[in-house]
Structure 1
C-alpha cells in the first residue's frame, strides 16, 4: 500500500472512531509511516481534505448506495470518503483513486467489502463535483442554506450562524465566499516575536511579510519547525488575526500606570508570547493564567525566552487568585466554539453542536465579568473569540455593557477568512471608567 494513503486513512479513522484531532494525529501518522516532503503534503491533504469536506461526500455517497449511509461499516465509509475526495477534489487519476481505496478496504476491512467499494466509487467517478452538487444539494434559490450546507460541507446550523453574523456586520452577500474560504487550507503564518528576532531573519528563510501585523510573515512552503528562529522560540506559528487582536489590546491607550498585564486564558501561549515580548520591551509584566496544568506547560515553553517578563499561573479564572482592579491591561481570549478557525481544524465543524453555544455563552459572560473586575479604572479589557457567532461575540459584550455601567465599548472588530485572510477573530475593546 502507498504509505501516504495508509497514513491518511489512519488519521481519518482516528478522528472519526477515537475523537482524535487531525492536527495531532497527522504528525504521528507521518512519522509512523516514514513520510516527509511532498508525500507528507499529499497525505495531509488526503486526510484533512476528506475530513473537512465530509458532509459533501456523504451526500454524494448516499446517492450512490443501495442502503442508508448509517448501515455502511464505518471503516468502509471512511475509505469511501477518502476515495471520493481523490476523485472529486484532487488531481488524482480515477484508476488510482479507486484502485488504492479498494486496496485499503481489502487490507483493513475484508475482501468482500472491496467489491462493494469498487462499485460505489465507480458511480462517484461518473460525475465531477459540480455536477454532483447540482444533483444532490437543495435548490439554491428556494433553500440557500441547505444548498450551502451540501455544496460547502458545513452543518446547517453552522451555516445559519455564519449567515446571521455576516448580516449583522453588513456583509449579507458574502456567505458563499466565507464558506469556500473555510475549505481552503490556511497558509502558515509566522510571528517574529519583538525583541527576540528581526523580520529580516524570517525573510532570509523565505517568509513574506503580510503588511498588516508588523510581526507577521507567511511561509510559502516547508516545515516551519526547521527554521532556527522557530525552533529556538524566538519566532512562532501564529495566525495574523491572533496577532492583530493581541496588538490591539497592547496598543490601546491607558491613563496612568501601564506595568501589569493579564492574559486570563493563556493556553497554548501564542498571544501570551506576543504580549509578553511587548511587555518586556515596555518594562511591564504579564501574568499568563491557564486553567489546565498541561496547557500551562505549553505556555511556559512558549514564553521561556522572555524570562521574568512573564509569570505563568494555573487557576480557574472564574474564581481568580489575583486582586480586583490590579491590572492595567487584560486579555480575555475566551473559550469558544472555534468556528472562526475551520480552515485549520478540519474536524471542528462536525463536533460542535448548537447546544454548545448556550454553555459557552454562560462561561464567556462569567469570564468577562471577572476581566472587567480585574482591570483598574482607566485600563482596558480585550474580549476575544476565535468565532464570529453572535451568541459568542456581540451578545456577550452587549450583555456585559448592560451589567456594568462603568464600562464602555471603545472598539469592536470582526475579521474574516475570505476578506482578511485570517481566522474569523472577534475583538471588543472595553474601557473601565
Structure 2
C-alpha cells in the first residue's frame, strides 16, 4: 500500500471522531456498534471525557437504539471499569510495553479483551470483530498483531489471568478481578465494617440505571411513574427508569432531571433540619445544578431565596440550565471562587457545601475515574475542602446550618475535614433526619450520614450537618 495513502487515512488526533477509511482501504465489514464504542473510548482515553457523556454523545450521533445502544454502553463502561486490569493482561499477552502500541490499536485490544473476559460474546466473534475493527481504523498491517494478542487473551478467563498475574498475592488478585486500584480498596476497607468490602466492590461494578428527579413545584413524580418508571425507595422526588432520560418530555423541558437518589436524600435531610429558617440560602459549589434545583424547589416552603455559586463559568451555565424553569425572582446564579466569597459574614441561614472530591463514591456511574485519581491527589483535595468549609461557616449566620457533602467515603475527605471545624459548630444527628433509610449512619461517627452502593443502591454520599455557634 502506498505510504501516503495509508498516512492520510489514519485517525486525526485533533478531531473528535474517527476518520472514515477510503472506499479502497479495506473490504472488511464495518461493525457500527463496536466502531461507535471505539469512538467513545478514544474520547475518554485521549481527551479526558467522562464515560457517561462520551457514550451518550456517540450513541446519539450514530442514532443507535435498543440492543445496539445497550451493547455500546456495556462495552464502553465495562472497558473503562476494568481498564487497569486489562492493561496488565494485555502487556503480558503481547509481551511488550503498551506505550509501544498505537493508541487506536490499544483501544481496540481493550475493547476486545472486555468482550472476551467481561461479556458473553463468543471468543471467535470477539477476536474476529476486533481484527476487522483494527483493519478498518488503523490498517491491515496491525491485524495480525491484534489477532495474535486477543487469541492469547482468550486462553484464560478473568480469574485465570488474575491468578497468573497475582502469583498468590491475595490483594493483587482482588484488585485485578474487581478492577479497583489497591489504594481505593484500602480506603474503603478503612471505613467499612468487616465483611462488606467485597459486596461494595461488586456493587461498584454493577451498572447503575438512570435515576430521575422531579423539580419540586414544576412536576409531580406521578408523571414519571406514568412512563413506566419505578419510584425510588426513599426519595419522594425520584424515579428509576431504564433507557434514555432525554426521551421524556419532562426531562427535555427541564421540569425533571437526572440525579442519583443519594444526592436527593442529602437534600431531603437538609429540608428536615429542625428550625431551618428562610432568608437566603447558598449552594456554595453548585455545578452542575442538580442539588440547586432541588433546593430551589424546596425554598418556597421555607420562605427562602437561593443563591447558587459556581467557580467555573461553563458549570455555572449548567446550573442556570437546571434552574431555567423556575421564576428568576426566587434565585440567582453567580460565578465566583467558593473560598473567597463576595458576601458579608453571616449572610446565609443555610449553606450547602457539596465540595469537589475524589469521586470515589460514584464509581458505578463514572467507572473511568478510578484510574484517574491517585492517593497523592487526596491531600490537595482535603486542603481545598477545608478552605471551602471555612468559607461556608464564615458566610453562615449564627444559628444557621452548613451541610457538608462529599461523593466520597474516604476518611480524610469526610470526618477528617469536619473534625477540624468542631470547635465552631454543633454537629447535628443527620441520620435521625432520614429514619426511613436503614444503616445510613457512618461507622466513623454515627452523627454523620454515609450512604453506600451495596447497602442503599446509591452513590456513596457523605453528609454532615453543622449548626454554627
Q: How high is the TM-score relative to the length of structure 1?
A: 0.93
Indicate yes or no: 2:206 matched with 1:177: no
Indicate yes or no: 2:452 matched with 1:416: yes
- Give SS of 2:353's match: strand
- Give SS of 1:383's match: strand
Displacement after TM superposition at 1:137 (Å): 3.0
In structure 2, the residue matched to 1:211 is 233
What is the CA–CA distance in structure 1 between the aligned matches of 2:85 and 2:425, rounded to whole Å?
A: 49
- Aligned counterpart in structure 1 of residue 292 of structure 2, from 272, 276, 281: 272
Displacement after TM superposition at 1:352 (Å): 1.0
Displacement after TM superposition at 1:138 (Å): 4.9
Q: Which stretches in structure 1 are left out of the alignment for 5+ residues? A: none
Native 8 Å contact 1:270 1:302 kept in 2 = yes
Indicate yes or no: 2:29 matched with 1:9: no
What is the CA–CA distance in structure 2 between the aligned matches of 1:40 and 1:108, rounded to whole Å?
A: 21
What is the CA–CA distance in structure 2 between the aligned matches of 1:227 and 1:251, rounded to whole Å?
A: 30
In structure 1, the residue matched to 2:131 is 102
How do 1:5-404 and structure 2 match up within 5 A? 5-139=34-168, 143-166=169-192, 171-219=193-241, 221-254=242-275, 257-307=277-327, 308-401=329-422, 404=423
Is the deviation greater in 344-353 or in 269-278? 344-353
What is the CA–CA distance in structure 2 between the aligned matches of 1:370 and 1:293, rounded to whole Å?
A: 20
Displacement after TM superposition at 1:371 (Å): 0.9
What is the CA–CA distance in structure 1 between the aligned matches of 2:129 and 2:89, rounded to whole Å?
A: 20
Across the aligned residues of Structure 1 and Structure 2, the Cα RMSD in angstroms comes to 1.6
- Give SS of 1:196's match: coil
What is the CA–CA distance in structure 2 between the aligned matches of 1:423 and 1:6, rounded to whole Å?
A: 31
Q: Structure 1 residues 406, 76: closer, same or farther in 2, change over 3 A?
A: closer
Displacement after TM superposition at 1:409 (Å): 4.7
Native 8 Å contact 1:386 1:426 kept in 2 = yes
- Give SS of 2:286's match: coil
What is the CA–CA distance in structure 1 between the aligned matches of 2:39 and 2:233, rounded to whole Å?
A: 39
Q: Which stretches in structure 2 are left out of the alignment for 5+ residues? A: 1-29, 431-447
In structure 1, the residue matched to 2:22 is none
Displacement after TM superposition at 1:144 (Å): 4.0
In structure 2, the residue matched to 1:426 is 462
- Give SS of 1:347's match: helix
- Give SS of 1:104's match: helix
What is the CA–CA distance in structure 1 between the aligned matches of 2:326 and 2:183, rounded to whole Å?
A: 42
Q: How high is the TM-score relative to the length of structure 2?
A: 0.86
Native 8 Å contact 1:254 1:328 kept in 2 = no
What is the CA–CA distance in structure 1 between the aligned matches of 2:420 and 2:170, rounded to whole Å?
A: 31
Is the deviation greater in 235-244 or in 63-72? 63-72
Native 8 Å contact 2:393 2:402 kept in 1 = yes
1:125-170 C-alpha deviation (Å, 9 max, x unpaired): 222223333333353xxx443222111111122222122122xxxx
Displacement after TM superposition at 1:106 (Å): 1.6
What is the CA–CA distance in structure 2 between the aligned matches of 1:36 and 1:237, rounded to whole Å?
A: 19
